[in-house]
């Protein structure tokens, strides 16, 4: 008896998602609660577990299709594994061409007119490649036709691609005899891949463009001497980790310093709603973290009421769960102010874009030693550029500068954070 796998509830106000990847193919053995597919919503990726143990049946939808909550994704046949049927549908993926001359993704290459040679090669070549394997093939520049798959039914895995890329290139073959007819010039090993934007990336693109079209964006800069914070971190990091079970980073200091500055300059923590200005007597700080699908922005609720240790624990938890795709949608709703740390990637300076309906975002950058003048003496200090992008409709330049100065003072003298000065 077949059991239907339905699209689960995705969260408040979210009624549809995109099928990102099939994790199980027809005929595969499936355990109860084992993930069989990955769904992409506007904010996160969600794995769909199997409701029963059995054998994967037919896929009801293809990769890239939009599905609604309650809709059927596939069926699970109860009992032991059954042999795969030749007619079982496969994910919407195609082989990567081994030479230039066409696109190389699951957007319909094999269905284009004149693609019979590619189709023929696919029939004798490796099994259809999953999205992760296709990305690895393009990244390492290897020919999938030369790779012997170690996966189920000879499928090529990502590890197979990496191993093939690490092998030394074979010696060039001896030159063939001159052809009787002139052959067209080789186009080289030029490849392209057309990949549909994930729902998360589409949402990011739409919201960033809306921010540019709606807000009067302006960015002001300052720099901050990180010497005092670095000294405090060096002195107390071992005791801090031993007591709180988390490493002492820089974000805890910046979140607390930002909360203090937001109280002094409430417009930076406010938002525009129609013709009204909404002020918040709390600080919900959005922190930008990387995930496999792009940048996500979970929210530290009531960060102004937290200690530095509580902030660091929350950020560390967000980072771990963002990488594993376990962040909940409710954790990314709201927020009154955003901090984005491009410094972890080596950014020297940037102009970040606000996260509507918020009115400001703080950009942190890399720390580097620079010569500065202190008390008439040229000295070397670990300096960081700060950038505050803000909606000029609500925040005046004087307020933006005052906010950054208050933040700078707190970071350069961390005692101010302890005594709320």
pLDDT digits (tens, 9 = 90+) for 31-82: 888 888 888 876 667 788 888 888 988 898 888 888 888 888 888 887 654 4
Confidence category of residue 294, pLDDT binned at 50, 70, 90: low
Confidence category of residue 92, pLDDT binned at 50, 70, 90: very low
Q: Are residues 266 and 341 in the same domain?
A: yes
Residue numbers of the domain that contains 18: 2-78
Total-model pTM: 0.60
Residue 121 half-sphere exposure, CB side, CA atoms within 13 Å? 15
Q: Are residues 224 and 366 in the same domain?
A: yes
Position 130 scores a pLDDT of 65
Average pLDDT over residues 267-284: 95
Q: Are residues 161 and 217 in the same domain?
A: no
Q: Are residues 131 and 211 in the same domain?
A: no
Q: Which residues are catalytic?
A: 392, 396
Q: Are residues 258 and 125 in the same domain?
A: no
Q: Are residues 320 and 385 in the same domain?
A: yes
Q: Are residues 149 and 237 in the same domain?
A: no
166 touches 139 (CB < 8 A): no
pLDDT of residue 175 exceeding 70: no
Position 189 scores a pLDDT of 82
pLDDT digits (tens, 9 = 90+) for 340-396: 998 888 899 999 999 889 999 999 999 999 999 999 999 999 999 999 999 999 999
170 versus 238: the higher-pLDDT residue is 238
Confidence category of residue 248, pLDDT binned at 50, 70, 90: very high
Residue 14 belongs to some domain of the structure: yes
CA–CA distance, 213 with 217 (Å, rounded to integer): 9
167 versus 394: the higher-pLDDT residue is 394
323 versus 300: the higher-pLDDT residue is 300
Question: What CATH number should be reported for the domain holding residue 29?
Answer: 2.40.50.100
Residue 91 belongs to some domain of the structure: no
87 versus 314: the higher-pLDDT residue is 314
Position 206 scores a pLDDT of 84
What is the percent of the chain where pLDDT is above 90? Answer: 39
CA–CA distance, 258 with 362 (Å, rounded to integer): 9
User: For residue 385, which of 220, 219, 223, 218 has the smallest C-alpha distance?
Assistant: 223
Largest CA distance in the chain: 88
CA–CA distance, 10 with 330 (Å, rounded to integer): 11
How many domains does the chain fold into? 3
pLDDT digits (tens, 9 = 90+) for 216-239: 999 999 999 999 999 999 999 999
Average pLDDT, the chain: 80
Residue 266 belongs to some domain of the structure: yes
Confidence category of residue 141, pLDDT binned at 50, 70, 90: confident
Cα separation of the two ends of the chain: 69
Q: Are residues 273 and 160 in the same domain?
A: no
3-state secondary structure the chain: CEEEEECCCCCCCCCEEEEEEECCCCCCEECCCCEEEEEECCCCEEEEECCCCEEEEEECCCCCCEEECCCEEEEEEECCCCCCCCCCCCCCCCCCCCCCCCCCCCCCHHHCCCCHHHHHHHHHCCCCCCHHHHHHHHHHCCCHHHCCCCCHHHCCCHHHHHHHHHCCCCCCCCCCCCCCCCCCCCCCCCCCCCCCCCHHHHHHHHHHHHHHHHCCEEEEEEEEECHHHHHHHHHHHHHHHHHHCCCCCCHHHHHHHHHHHHHHCHHHHCEEECCEEECCCCCCEEECEEECCEEECCEECCHHHCCHHHHHHHHHHHHHHHHCCCCCHHHHCCCCEEEEEHHHHCCCCCCCCCCCCECEEEEECCCEEEEEEECCEEEEEEEEEEEEEEECCCCCHHHHHHHHHHHHHHHHCCHHHHHCC
């Amino acid at each position: 008896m077949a059991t239907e796998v339905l699209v689960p509830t995705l969260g408040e106000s979210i009624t549809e998602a995109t099928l990102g990847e099939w994790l199980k193919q027809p005929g595969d053995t499936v355990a109860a609660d084992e993930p069989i597919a990955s769904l992409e919503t506007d904010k996160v990726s969600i794995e769909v577990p199997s409701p029963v143990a059995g054998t994967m049946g037919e896929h009801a939808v293809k990769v890239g299709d939009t599905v609604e909550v309650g809709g059927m994704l596939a069926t699970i046949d109860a009992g032991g594994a059954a042999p795969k049927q030749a007619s079982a549908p496969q994910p919407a993926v195609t082989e990567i061409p081994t030479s230039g001359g066409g696109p190389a993704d699951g957007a319909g290459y094999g269905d284009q007119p004149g693609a019979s040679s590619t189709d023929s090669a696919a029939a004798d070549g490796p099994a259809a490649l999953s999205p992760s394997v296709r990305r690895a093939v393009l990244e390492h520049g290897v020919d999938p036709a030369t790779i012997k798959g170690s996966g189920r039914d000879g499928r090529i895995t990502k590890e197979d691609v990496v191993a093939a890329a690490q092998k030394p290139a074979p010696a060039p073959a001896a030159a063939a005899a001159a052809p009787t007819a002139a052959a067209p010039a080789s186009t080289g090993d030029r490849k392209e891949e057309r990949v549909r934007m994930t729902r998360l990336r589409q949402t990011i693109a739409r919201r960033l463009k809306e921010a540019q079209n709606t807000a009067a964006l302006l960015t002001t800069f300052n720099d901050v001497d990180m010497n005092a914070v670095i000294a405090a971190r060096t002195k107390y990091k071992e005791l801090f980790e031993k007591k709180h079970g988390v490493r002492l980073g820089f974000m805890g200091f910046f979140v607390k310093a930002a909360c203090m500055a937001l109280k002094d300059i409430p417009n930076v923590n406010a938002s525009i709603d129609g013709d009204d200005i909404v002020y918040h007597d709390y600080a919900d700080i959005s922190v930008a973290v990387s995930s496999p699908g792009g940048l996500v922005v979970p929210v530290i609720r009531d960060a102004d009421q937290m200690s530095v240790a509580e902030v660091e624990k929350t950020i560390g938890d967000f980072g771990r769960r963002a990488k594993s795709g376990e962040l909940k949608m409710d954790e990314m709703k709201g927020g009154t102010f955003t901090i984005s740390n491009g410094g972890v990637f080596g950014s020297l300076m940037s102009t970040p874009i606000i996260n509507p309906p918020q009115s400001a975002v703080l950009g942190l950058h890399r720390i580097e030693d620079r010569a500065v003048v202190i008390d008439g003496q040229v000295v070397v200090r670990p300096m960081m550029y700060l950038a505050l992008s803000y909606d000029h409709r609500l925040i005046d330049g004087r307020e933006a500068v005052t906010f950054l100065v208050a933040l700078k003072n707190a970071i350069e003298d961390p005692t101010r954070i302890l005594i709320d000065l």
